Amino acid sequence: MDKLSITGGRALSGRLRVSGAKNSALPILAGTLLTDEPVIIANAPHLHDVTTMIELLGTLGADVVIDEKLNVEVCAAQLVSHTAPYELVKTMRASFLVLGPLVAKFGEAQVSLPGGCAIGSRPVDQHIKGLQVLGADVLVEDGYVKASAPDGLVGGDVYMDLVTVGGTENLMMAASLAKGTTRLQNCAREPEVVDLGNFLNTLGAKVSGHGTSTIEIEGVERLHGGQHRIMADRVEAGTYLIAAAATRGSVKLVDVEPDTLGAVLEKLQQAGADVQTGDDWISLDMHGQRPRAVDVETSPYPGFPTDMQAQFMAMNTIAEGTASIRENIFENRFMHVQEMNRLGADIELHGHSMAVVHGVEELHAAPVMATDLRASSSLVIAALVADGNTVIDRIYHIDRGYETIEEKLQQLGGAVARIS
């Protein structure tokens, strides 16, 4: 099993291109099931989760080709199955996003209840409730969600009881082929939801309001093929910016969308970073200074993202001062705390949702283990500032969300190597 070996103490410096967004690519790949015509997806990141989604599309019978420019072309004209099996869905909960497209296009679907990172309860009840409002019969049995709408879905008004990105995306796709108009209320406003709406409209859907709390979808009879470029990964971008801040470095990220990182950039400036932005770039310079501790409280977009919480905690471990971290999205997202404390961090847990980080002068290398995707990236940041050589085990978590992380950190001068 691969591990990362990191020798800390080097300030990250240099220029880096940001990959396409995993959290945008996955629902968009699922959305290719909505049309019989070929769809070309550009800028999809080369990640294990994306490979899993492509494998799932192939299992359903879609024809998937990756060309010499690494574009993904999907044609779902002749599916052989409408069942997403447990073996694939258990490894990645985003696989559940094929439910809406399959029911909308084919009138039936069986999708295993999802797996993914063990960071707390992420129920799919809002997905099911929404499909029922649109006229689907839904049964949960034997570990599968079984949905049918033999006469097609019918538009309706859906109010989601909580803000859910996956639920918003599944229902947007389902409603695109429903008869009549659907209004989704209390929607997630994440940039990845906007990207999905733009993709659907490229195929001939009539989606409006994506990026606000109310999305309206006027159903159409069919969607056609098209081409779409995946947005930049704001979580990857934020991770490298935080890594540079923690190591007192200076970086410039290109092919990025600064507007999607507002809350993160604001917190980095509070930490003492000199942050500059352009249309498609962000630069950060710590001018050799130690970061200041910053309080963080997660909330749905446009608030501070839960996917950045662990990385800021890592920076706070060696920052000047004390900071509080409050996690309001997932109840089990502090599994990295024990591992960080092994490196010499001073972090106190107050229940499942609150941590207090007392900044220390330096961390010290120790063997650590990744527990989930974003926790693993926080351990990388901590290792980059720790004195000595840190080995991070179970980095398959990192490979789910970060494209060639060791190569990108090497580009910035980090002493990082993948070992077996």
What are the catalytic residues?
A: 117
CA separation for the pair 144, 102 (Å, rounded): 14
The packing angle between helices 165-175 and 99-106, to 10°, is 10
Q: Of 254, 299, 291, 247, give the one whose Cα is nearest residue 276.
A: 254
CA separation for the pair 202, 224 (Å, rounded): 9
What burial letters (b/e) apply to 255-278, b meaning 16+ CB within 10 Å?
Answer: ebbbebbebbbebbeebbbebebe
Place of tokens 């004209």: 77
CA separation for the pair 240, 13 (Å, rounded): 10
| DSSP E strand boundaries for 18-59 | 39-42
Q: Is 115 exposed, middle or buried (0-12, 13-18, 19+ CB in 10 A)?
A: middle
H/E element, 397: helix 396-399
CA separation for the pair 322, 303 (Å, rounded): 22
Angle at 177 between CA 172 and CA 181, to 5 degrees: 70
In angstroms, what CA-CA distances link 181 with 27, 91, 178? Answer: 21, 34, 8
Q: Is 41 exposed, middle or buried (0-12, 13-18, 19+ CB in 10 A)?
A: buried
Cis preceding linkage at 302, omega within 30 = yes
Cβ-proximal residues to 123 (8 Å cutoff; 6+ apart), any chain: none
